């Protein structure tokens, strides 16, 4: 730690440009990778923020010169940080033999020998992934993204059909702030989803698809909008509450810490 800080102090004494500051940050704490320091030109003081979706502590630093002070502040707040992070669901890393959440159930990850296409066995609740050494984690994630894309595309086309609205594009990403988003261009929907929805119970995935399709009719969250949602997905309140209470479990899938 002392060596790391001395390098930072030496750096700050020789450079003060905003370009250099931004080049040095963000940086992860050498003692705890869950803590990440980020620069903010607008910040007047050092602040801490727990981001459950990223499973990280973001430390806002008003410039590189304040980084040693920020790291000292983190050490002083260590007990509070640990309490906040321990309240998050346990991580579910993509490791053979471990269980992860898939379609609302626990599935065991299996690293299979040889080559072949990864597959989901819903009878045994296993996700079987042939992968050369060093590629297992990536292949598991790609499988989940593929499953998410297939299910979200089918659900979106169904609910858009209920509303007689066309969809032009569906994308699946690894987002942290939204489960989905929708914009309309030239009368056609462009919808983006988080792949993590495939880890939720199917009725929750369906709800998010209905939610985004409804935005092709009402691009807001007004009473009129919720009436549209209710017309195609009457049980939306149950699914909405599930996401509110359990969304952190979805972000735990694939997490290392």
Alpha carbon distance, N-terminus to C-terminus of the chain: 21
Residue by residue, pLDDT tens for the chain (257 residues) are 434 334 333 433 333 334 444 447 889 998 888 899 999 888 889 999 988 888 899 999 998 889 999 999 999 999 999 998 889 999 999 999 999 999 999 999 999 988 899 999 999 999 999 999 899 999 999 999 999 999 999 999 999 999 999 999 999 999 888 999 999 999 999 999 999 999 999 999 999 999 999 999 999 999 999 999 999 999 999 999 999 999 999 999 999 88
Q: Yes or no: say if 21 and 64 are a contact pair by the CB < 8 Å rule.
A: yes
Here the tokens at position 38 are: 């980020």
Model pLDDT, residue 6: 40
pLDDT at 79: 93
Q: Are the CB atoms for 80 and 68 separated by under 8 Å? A: no
| Residue 32, beta-bridge partner list | 29
Q: Which pLDDT belongs to residue 13?
A: 39
Q: In what order do the strands lie in the sheet with 99-102?
A: 99-102, 105-112, 126-130, 119-121
Q: Are strands 126-130 and 180-185 parallel, antiparallel or unpaired?
A: unpaired
27 touches 44 (CB < 8 A)? no
pLDDT value of residue 9: 38
Q: Indicate the helix (H) or strand (E) that contains 39.
A: strand 32-39
Report the pLDDT value the prediction gives residue 64, as an integer from 0 to 100.
Answer: 85
What does CATH list as the number for 99-252?
A: 3.30.2010.10
pLDDT at 2: 39
CA angle 251/253/256 to nearest 5° reads 100
The alpha carbon of 6 is separated from its chain's Cα centroid by a whole number of angstroms, namely: 34
- Domain(s) labelled CATH 3.30.2010.10 in the chain stretch across 99-252
């Amino acid at each position: 730690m002392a060596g790391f800080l001395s390098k930072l102090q030496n750096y700050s004494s020789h450079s003060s440009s905003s370009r250099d500051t931004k080049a040095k940050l963000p940086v992860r704490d050498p003692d705890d990778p869950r803590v990440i320091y980020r620069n903010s030109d607008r910040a007047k003081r050092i602040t801490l923020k727990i981001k459950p979706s990223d499973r990280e502590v973001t430390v806002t630093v008003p410039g590189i010169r304040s980084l040693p002070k920020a790291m000292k502040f983190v050490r002083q707040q260590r007990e509070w940080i640990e309490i906040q992070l321990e309240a998050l669901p346990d991580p579910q890393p993509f490791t053979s033999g471990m269980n992860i959440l898939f379609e609302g159930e626990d599935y065991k990850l299996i690293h299979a020998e040889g080559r072949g296409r990864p597959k989901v066995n819903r009878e045994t609740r296993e996700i079987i992934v042939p992968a050369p050494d060093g590629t297992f984690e990536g292949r598991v994630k790609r499988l989940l993204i593929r499953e998410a894309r297939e299910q979200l595309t089918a659900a979106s086309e169904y609910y858009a059909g209920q509303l007689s609205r066309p969809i032009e594009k569906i994308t699946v990403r690894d987002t942290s702030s939204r489960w989905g988003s929708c914009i309309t261009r030239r009368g056609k929907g462009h919808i983006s989803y988080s792949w993590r929805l495939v880890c939720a119970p199917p009725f929750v995935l369906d709800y998010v698809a209905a939610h985004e399709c409804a935005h092709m009719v009402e691009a807001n969250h007004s009473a009129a909008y919720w009436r549209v949602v209710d017309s195609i997905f009457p049980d939306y309140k149950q699914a909405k509450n599930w996401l509110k209470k359990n969304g952190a479990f979805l972000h735990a899938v694939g997490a290392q810490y």
